Structure 1
Amino acid sequence: MRKIKYFLLVTLLYIASVIAIGYIESQNPDGNIKDIGDAFWFAIVTLTTVGYGDLYPVTILGKIIGLVLILGSIGILGIIISEITNKINSYMEKKKNGFYGTDFKNHYIIIGYNDFALKVGKEIISTGHKIAFLTNAKDDLEKINTHFNHQNCFSLLAEYKDEEKYEKLNFKAAKSVFINFEEDADTLVFVLNAKKAYPNLEYVALCNNTELKGTFENAGVKYVVSPLEVTSKLVASYIFEPEVATYTEDLISSSKNKEDSDIQQYKILTNSFYHNKSFNTAFHELKDNYDAIAIGVVKDNKVYKNPSSDYILSINDYIILISNGASKKGLEDIFGIKEGK
């Protein structure tokens, strides 16, 4: 407010000086500043440091006021440049912090950032999907912007309890939300608050205490991930079935090149080739034409492993299959949608 008052005062004095020099110079028959319009032209040329030299004061008093205008121009120009610079810097900082929100749709939201979230984000982006991060740490924001580009990743700096900021992540248009906190209590609080505002969203949460899985599910978390359980199963497999464990680890990772294989799921749309086809027909068609192996179906969020051959595929079912990176483009074309939910 003080800066605005100072700017207004300087501006008023500047305008008064322009009017004064216009009046004084117009009274002199030898002067080339004939009226107020000429005076403002002289002032503008002086302010912008152009200095054409076509108009200038000739009287002593006019020159003194002209000197005031020149010095005042430096001050006003400095204020204007400073304000413009501050506005630009403020805009860029707000944009960097995600305060203007994102228009991402059908994206995945990750709440909380660490090395684990980084790996999850890279896996999602490698499948061609977009992600949005929410973090409360400035340093994490810098790391996110270093690892991901703005075309497929949006990041927001805000407090986790600030529910009004959730809209900037475009929660309503997201596919699912992954809550990645170190403390299970923080995860539970976030889920309860988010479910009130966005009850129809699918929530996936990290749970460090396996005894709380039931509590998380009752709170509305659809998929509860326990790192300890997953790790213990994989380690046990490495102990007595190392080759199977290696293959399993490869399958649960997104394919990075044409040779990599992974497990994918594709939704059956209205115009899908597989609509009203039997699982057996889909199995052979996928194997013969895309070198992909169908291993299951998801219907109404329930997984059917290796369903019967005469199972009829319906709209909104998902086919779960194994394929390599070379087949992904063809699979996306035939299903008319990218892998995943």
Structure 2
Amino acid sequence: MKKWNYFLLAVFIYLLAIYGIGVVESQSEASNIKGFTDALWYAIVTLTTVGYGDSYPVTPVGKVISLTLVIGSIGVLGYLIGEITNKFNLYMEKKKTGFWGTNFENHYVIIGYNDFGRQVASQIVATGHKLAFLVNSKEKLDLIKDVFHFDNCFAMFADYNNDEAYDKINLTKSKAVFLNFDEDTDTLVYVLNLKKKYPNVDVVVTCKNSELKETFVNAGIKYVVSQTTVASRLVASYIFEPEVASYTEDLITTSRTENDFDMQQYKINTSGMYFQKSFMDIFLGLKKEFNAIAIGIVSHGKVIKNPPSDFVLTENDYVILISNGVSKKHLEKAFGVKEGK
């Protein structure tokens, strides 16, 4: 506040000097400054360093006051430029750190960042979905921006205890949140706090210690992935069913080309072409129209593998299928939704 008081005082003195020049110079017939308006014009030209030369003091007193005005102009101009530069730099710094937030909706959120999180994020971005990161390190923020410099990606630096940060990344409007911390204990503590504040948010976590999986489930986490369990199953499959394991690994990787295949899920809604169709009709239609294979459904939150042929899918059910990367955009048009939940 004192800073602005000093600035206002300087402006008052500056205007007083302009007024003084106008009064002194108007008393001289040889002067081209005939009043306050001319003096103000002279001051503005001097302040902006334009220097037209059409107005200038001729009296000794006017010249003395003008000297003060010129020196003061340097200070005022320097202060204004400095303030504008500081404000601009502050704005750009806030923009860089995501301070202004994002308007993303129906997006995915990753909290925490490491190499594993980078791989997860790459798969999500490849599907065309919007993704928001929240990290508590500027170093990690820079790493994210180096890799995910896309319009559908947003990254924010903030303290994890800052509730405003979750509003700025639209956490409650996201589809799912992935907690990506290095230690299981950090993840568990964070989960307890997060679910307390946002009980309706879908949270996905990974745990290195498979024995903690039940603990996470009891904490209200529906999707808990044990890294060791998944890895051990895949390794075991490679040992005695290598081709099956290779195929499985491909199916859980986002497809991008005609020769890439992956498993996808699409939501049934009233505007899609498969609303209130039987599973067999959907199976045959997908194979004929898109060379895609329906392998299961999700109904009322329950996954049904190889459902009955006459099972009718209604609004908010999901179809799980296998398709290549090229067919995705056509499938999204047919279902009327993007891939994913």
Indicate whether the TM-score tops 0.5: yes
Give 1:169 deviation, angstroms: 0.9
Using the alignment, how far apart are the partners of 2:7 and 2:75 within structure 1? 9
Query: Any residues of structure 2 matched to 1:2-41 within 5 Å, and which?
Result: 2-41=2-41
The letter of the residue matching 2:285 is E
SS at the partner of 2:297?
Answer: strand
Identity of aligned residues (%): 59
Residues 218-268 of structure 1, C-alpha deviation per residue, up to 9 Å, x if partnerless? Answer: 111110011111111111111111111111111100012222100000000
- Which residue in 2 is equivalent to 1:242? 242
Q: Which moved more, 1:166-175 or 1:187-196?
A: 187-196
CA contact (8 A) 2:256 2:324 kept: no
Q: Structure 1 residues 23 and 69 mapped into 2: Cα distance closer, same or farther (>3 Å)? A: same
Residues 296-339 of structure 1, C-alpha deviation per residue, up to 9 Å, x if partnerless? Answer: 00011110001111111111110000000121111011001110
Q: Which moved more, 1:1-10 or 1:16-25?
A: 1-10
- Which residue in 2 is equivalent to 1:149? 149
The letter of the residue matching 1:205 is V
- Which residue in 1 is equivalent to 2:135? 135
Residues 106-164 of structure 1, C-alpha deviation per residue, up to 9 Å, x if partnerless? Answer: 00000100011111111001101011111111100001111112511111111222233
- Which residue in 2 is equivalent to 1:280? 280
The letter of the residue matching 2:326 is A
The letter of the residue matching 1:32 is N
Using the alignment, how far apart are the partners of 1:274 and 1:302 within structure 2? 19
Using the alignment, how far apart are the partners of 1:258 and 1:198 within structure 2? 40
CA contact (8 A) 1:266 1:337 kept: yes
Q: Structure 1 residues 156 and 17 mapped into 2: Cα distance closer, same or farther (>3 Å)? A: same
Query: Any residues of structure 2 matched to 1:186-225 within 5 Å, and which?
Result: 186-225=186-225
Structure 2 unmatched runs, 5+? none
SS at the partner of 1:326?
Answer: coil
Residues 194-225 of structure 1, C-alpha deviation per residue, up to 9 Å, x if partnerless? Answer: 22222111110111211111111111111001
The letter of the residue matching 1:188 is L
Residues 64-98 of structure 1, C-alpha deviation per residue, up to 9 Å, x if partnerless? Answer: 21122112111111110000000010011111111
Using the alignment, how far apart are the partners of 2:257 and 2:88 within structure 1? 41
Using the alignment, how far apart are the partners of 1:84 and 1:2 within structure 2? 18
- Which residue in 1 is equivalent to 2:83? 83
Using the alignment, how far apart are the partners of 1:169 and 1:46 within structure 2? 48
The letter of the residue matching 1:121 is A
Using the alignment, how far apart are the partners of 1:5 and 1:206 within structure 2? 55
Query: Any residues of structure 2 matched to 1:299-318 within 5 Å, and which?
Result: 299-318=299-318
CA contact (8 A) 2:176 2:204 kept: yes
Q: How many residues align?
A: 341
SS at the partner of 2:105?
Answer: coil
Using the alignment, how far apart are the partners of 2:321 and 2:334 within structure 1? 14
SS at the partner of 1:244?
Answer: helix
- Which residue in 1 is equivalent to 2:95? 95
Using the alignment, how far apart are the partners of 2:91 and 2:157 within structure 1? 15
SS at the partner of 2:277?
Answer: coil
The letter of the residue matching 1:189 is V
Using the alignment, how far apart are the partners of 1:92 and 1:164 within structure 2? 19
- Which residue in 2 is equivalent to 1:339? 339
- Which residue in 2 is equivalent to 1:46? 46
Q: RMSD value over aligned CA atoms?
A: 1.2
TM-score (norm 1): 0.97
The letter of the residue matching 1:184 is D
The letter of the residue matching 1:305 is K
Using the alignment, how far apart are the partners of 1:316 and 1:335 within structure 2? 12
Structure 1 residue 328 corresponds to structure 2 residue 328:
yes
SS at the partner of 1:307?
Answer: coil
Residues 31-86 of structure 1, C-alpha deviation per residue, up to 9 Å, x if partnerless? Answer: 11111111111101111111111111011111121122112111111110000000
Give 1:2 deviation, angstroms: 4.9
- Which residue in 2 is equivalent to 1:171? 171
Query: Any residues of structure 2 matched to 1:35-74 within 5 Å, and which?
Result: 35-74=35-74
The letter of the residue matching 1:17 is A
CA contact (8 A) 1:161 1:190 kept: no
CA contact (8 A) 1:275 1:314 kept: yes
SS at the partner of 2:151?
Answer: coil
- Which residue in 2 is equivalent to 1:319? 319
The letter of the residue matching 1:178 is F
Using the alignment, how far apart are the partners of 1:86 and 1:302 within structure 2? 55
CA contact (8 A) 1:206 1:224 kept: yes
SS at the partner of 1:31?
Answer: coil
Give 1:10 deviation, angstroms: 2.6
Give 1:270 deviation, angstroms: 1.0
- Which residue in 1 is equivalent to 2:256? 256
- Which residue in 2 is equivalent to 1:293? 293
Give 1:13 deviation, angstroms: 2.2
